[in-house]
């Protein structure tokens, strides 16, 4: 069995679709399945079992002999949530329970970390220095929770025989429709252009960046799935890995890509970044990808324009 937590969510559901497309058939989905707005994400995936999130640790204990791999992608990902206790429970404690069972039962594990761990980027974005997470200063409780688990994992004497923590950068693509405010800028731009013919981007509040010139490393979700499956099949070289495209692009580039994919003329305006996230806003992220490349991952990543075109034309315009 291949188990995916956060299975009804964005990346988890796309990974299940990708695994099934590659011929993997004994698939188990773990999530809180009470949200009707996420049900469509699993349409077409044939599952061996659905496991409620709260009972997952006990389920591992009962089924460990049959589990071949766990992708632990379930997490609270809201960067605008500031209740630390929520993140401690969902992103740290529950992840520790999964890790400890994978170590005990020799189950290989890939878990979701985040580029939010890097904070404002002042210390760089290296995934090759295992000491760096102990110095990082994330900008919000979500990033703190992901970094706390990274530090905990690195400090453990008992580890799964293979494990990888993936620092996801700005992931976009199909099945993020339920995420509301936390959906990608690509999705929000598409919806704005559909409704009004125009898109609004956040104004820069730092003089070294022009409006719309803020830079992020955007990665298409299909590339994320390809890397996850590569690591599952390789099962060597444990550690923490960046997972971005390796190239920072501006939000203006992104908006223009959406207009092009939709065949619409550009109309771009700027609004102030909301006050509740302004001081916690990352102006630049870029993933050095040398570590992943060094272990044999040689597939190209979608360019921003290629990813947007596929997402818009193959999914968003057909909804």
Q: Which of 111, 118, 142, 241 is catalytic?
A: 142
> Residue 168: in which H helix or E strand, if any?
strand 163-168
Q: Is 161 a catalytic residue?
A: no
Q: Which of 151, 159, 179, 200 is catalytic?
A: 179
57-91: burial string, b at 16+ Cβ within 10 Å, e else = eebbeeeeeebebbbbbbbbbbbeeeeeeebbebb
275: CB partners within 8 A, 6+ apart = none
Q: Return the structure tokens found at 318.
A: 């057909």
Q: Is 104 a catalytic residue?
A: no
Residues 31 and 12: beta-carbon distance below 8 Å: yes
Whole-angstrom CA distances from 200 to 99, 245, 270, 279, 308 are 42, 24, 5, 20, 17
**Token pair 């949200």: residue:** 35
Query: What backbone phi and psi angles, to 5 degrees, belong to 310?
Result: -65, -45
**Token pair 């990033």: residue:** 143
Residues serving a catalytic function are 142, 179
């Amino acid at each position: 069995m291949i188990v995916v937590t956060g299975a009804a969510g964005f990346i988890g559901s796309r990974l299940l679709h990708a695994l099934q497309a590659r011929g993997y058939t004994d698939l188990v989905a773990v999530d809180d399945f009470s949200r009707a707005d996420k049900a469509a994400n699993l349409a077409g995936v044939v599952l061996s079992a659905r496991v409620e999130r709260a009972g997952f640790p006990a389920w591992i204990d009962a089924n460990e002999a049959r589990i071949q791999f766990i992708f632990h992608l379930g997490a609270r990902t809201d960067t605008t949530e500031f209740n630390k206790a929520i993140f401690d429970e969902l992103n740290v404690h529950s992840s520790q329970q999964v890790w400890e069972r994978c170590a005990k039962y020799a189950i290989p594990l890939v878990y979701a970390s985040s580029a939010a761990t890097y904070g404002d980027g002042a210390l760089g974005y290296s995934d090759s220095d295992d000491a760096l997470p102990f110095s990082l200063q994330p900008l919000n409780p979500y990033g703190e929770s992901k970094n706390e688990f990274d530090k905990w994992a690195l400090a453990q004497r008992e580890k799964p025989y293979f494990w990888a923590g993936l620092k996801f950068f700005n992931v976009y693509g199909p099945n993020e429709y339920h995420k509301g405010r936390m959906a990608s800028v690509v999705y929000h731009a598409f919806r704005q252009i559909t409704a009004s013919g125009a898109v609004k981007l956040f104004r820069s509040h730092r003089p070294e960046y022009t409006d719309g010139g803020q830079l992020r490393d955007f990665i298409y979700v299909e590339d994320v799935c390809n890397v996850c499956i590569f690591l599952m099949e390789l099962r060597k070289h444990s550690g923490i890995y960046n997972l971005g495209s390796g190239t920072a692009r501006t939000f203006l580039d992104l908006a223009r890509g959406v207009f092009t994919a939709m065949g619409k003329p550009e109309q771009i305006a700027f609004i102030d970044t909301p006050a509740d996230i302004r001081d916690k806003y990352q102006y630049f992220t870029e993933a050095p990808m040398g570590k992943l490349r060094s272990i044999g991952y040689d597939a190209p990543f979608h360019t921003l324009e290629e990813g947007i075109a596929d997402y818009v034309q193959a999914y968003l315009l057909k909804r």
